[in-house]
Structure 1
C-alpha cells in the first residue's frame, strides 16, 4: 500500500531530489555524500574497481510487469555483481535516472530505495547521481569498489586446464523462465504486498501463482550471493549475466581453453523447469544454457579450492584439433544457440 505522503510528494526537480536524498544514508568512508556536485570517498584501499551499466524501459524491463523498487534493486545488483566478480568489495554507487516529464513522483523514490537497499546489503551506499528527462524510463549506475592490497584481480583469462567451471548458486535458468512467463503474457504483475510492490504506472494483469512469483522475482530482482566473489579460492571469475554458454565461452576464450559442460550436473536445473517449459512450448535446456540475468558468480579453479556455495557444472581443458580456444561443449558435443547479445 502506498502512503499518502508518497502521492503528495513535491514535484519538480528540486522536490524530487529532496525526496530521493531523504532515502539515502552514507557511512564513515563517505566524506561528502549526496547533494553536492560530486561525492568524496575514502576508499578501503587505493586500488579502485569501477563499472557501469544501464537499464532501459522496453529493452531491459517491461513497465507492465514490474515495480520501480525491483528495477532499482536489479540495476544495483548488476553493477555490484561486476565489482564482486573481480574479487573486490563494493563501496559506493552513483545513480542517474532519466524519465518522462509526467512520470509519477513516487517512481523516483521507489527506484532510489531499491538501489539503496540492495547496495546496503553488500556494504555499499548510494553517494550521488543525476536526474533528467527522457522519453522512456532509464536508470544508469556506476559502481565503485576496492581491491585489497596484494590481492590478485579475478579476471576471465587466468583459468587453467583441469579447472572446474562452477556457478555460485543452486539452480540456473530461473531468470529466463520468469522472462518467458512475461513474454507469453501468462502473468503481468508481481504483486506481493507493501508499498515496494506498487506497480509502475501502466501495469496491469493477473496475480501469479507462488511458483510463477518466484520465477518472476528471479528475473525482476535477482539476489545472488555476491560474497562468493571475494571469497578465496577462484582462479578466474566473471558475472554470469548473458547465459552459461555465452559467458563460459568468454572465460574460455580469454584463458585459451575449452569448456565442457556436464549434462548430469545441469539435469536437475532442467528438470525443475520442465513442466513450465512444456506448458509454454519451450525447451528448458535453452533457459539453463542460454538464459541471462542470473548475476551469479561464474568461477574457474581447482575443485578443492572453490569455497562452499559454488557447484561444478563443467571442466576446462586444453584445446585440440577438434575444439579450439573458446569452444563450449556439452558432454563433449557442440552446443547450439548463440546466447544473449544486445545487438543480435
Structure 2
C-alpha cells in the first residue's frame, strides 16, 4: 500500500498489513509499490465501486468491520455475476486525520474476511486523507478455461427468472430502520431494535452466497447481481435481452410476510422493500424451464414483449429502485 496520510502512517500500515493473508497466487503482496498476482486464466474480469460516508453509510448506524465487508461484497458480487471466480481486491481508503487507527484496522479486517470467504485476497491499495471516510475497492476475477462470461443479454421468452437468495427485501428493511432513528450501532451490536437487529446487520454487511455465480450460475442464460432493486435491475436485464420479466406475486409473498411486522411498525408496505430494495447483491438469473439449480428459487418468468419491462402478474409496478443521482429526500 502506498499512502499520503501523515500522522503515524508507517505505524498504521504496520498494523494493517498482518491482517491480510496471501496464498500461492500472490507473488508480491501488500507493502510494495504494486502487487503481482498469478491469475488462473488470461481472461480477467474487473470491477470497482465506492462507499462514501453520509451517502452509502451513516455514522453510528454501522461498524467499521461491516463497512469493509460490504465494500468487498458489492465488488465480489459483480465478478460472480459474470460467472467468474474472484481472485484479488485492492482498496483505496481515505478518512479525516482524526480517525482512530482502529477504524482502519477493522475496515481492513472486514475486507479481508469477506474476500477470503470467497477465495480472494486483498493484495494492496492506498491510504489517503479526506473530509469524510470513503472506501473504493477494485476486484479482479478470472473466467476459467474457455467458459464464456454470463451476460445480461441472454434471457429468452419462456425461461424462468430466479434469485439466489432465500428472501428479498432484508437490506431495504434494515435501511428503513437505520433511517428511522430507532437504532444505533455500538461495537458491532445493534441497539434499540432487538427483534429486527438481523435486518440492520444484513443492510450494513449483506452476506449473499456469491459462489452461486461461478458454480451453478454458469448454466444461466443471463445473470447480474441485485444491487439497485428487483424492478430496476430487472429492467436492466430485460432491456439488455429485449424481453419483459413477469414477477410471480405468489413466489414473492413469503418475502413480504417475513417483513410484515417491521412494515407495520414503520407504516411501510413491505412490498416496497421486496420489489425496490437494493444492496442485496444476490444473483438474479434466468434459466431454461426445469433447469433452475439448487441455491436459486423461481420468482417469475421471461416473456416476449413489445418493449422491455418488469411487471407483477402482468400488471405494471409503481415506484423504482435506487439511483445514485436521484435528488436526496
Q: Please, what TM-score do these two structures have when normalized by structure 1?
A: 0.90
1:312 Cα deviation from its structure 2 partner: 0.7
Superposed counterparts of 1:1-344, under 5 Å:
12-189=8-185, 191=186, 197-198=187-188, 206-209=191-194, 211-232=195-216, 233-320=219-306, 324=307, 326-344=308-326
Structure 1 regions of 5+ residues with no counterpart? 1-9, 192-196, 200-204
Name the stretch that deviates more: 226-235 or 166-175. Answer: 226-235
**Distance change >3 Å, CA 18–CA 37, structure 1 → 2:** same
Tell me the distance in 2 between the aligned counterparts of 1:306 and 1:138. Answer: 38
**Distance change >3 Å, CA 198–CA 160, structure 1 → 2:** closer
Cα shift readout 1:73-132 (whole Å, capped 9, x = no counterpart): 110010001000000000000011000011011000000000000000011000000000
The count of residues paired between Structure 1 and Structure 2 equals: 319
Contact 2:182/2:192, CA 8 A, preserved across alignment:
no
1:207 Cα deviation from its structure 2 partner: 4.1
Contact 1:11/1:105, CA 8 A, preserved across alignment:
no
- Residue 242 of structure 1: SS of its match in structure 2? coil
Cα shift readout 1:302-325 (whole Å, capped 9, x = no counterpart): 1322220101111111113xxx1x
Tell me the distance in 1 between the aligned counterparts of 2:106 and 2:115. Answer: 14
Tell me the distance in 1 between the aligned counterparts of 2:320 and 2:255. Answer: 20
Contact 1:242/1:339, CA 8 A, preserved across alignment:
yes
Tell me the distance in 2 between the aligned counterparts of 1:171 and 1:220. Answer: 16
Structure 2 regions of 5+ residues with no counterpart? 1-5
Cα shift readout 1:50-95 (whole Å, capped 9, x = no counterpart): 1000000010011111100000011001000100000000000001
1:198 Cα deviation from its structure 2 partner: 5.0
Tell me the distance in 2 between the aligned counterparts of 1:286 and 1:206. Answer: 25
Contact 1:161/1:317, CA 8 A, preserved across alignment:
yes
Q: Please, what TM-score do these two structures have when normalized by structure 2?
A: 0.94
Contact 2:158/2:289, CA 8 A, preserved across alignment:
no
Structure 1 residue ranges (4+ consecutive) displaced by more than 4 angstroms after TM superposition: none
Tell me the distance in 1 between the aligned counterparts of 2:145 and 2:35. Answer: 23
What is the alpha-carbon root mean square deviation over aligned residues? 1.4
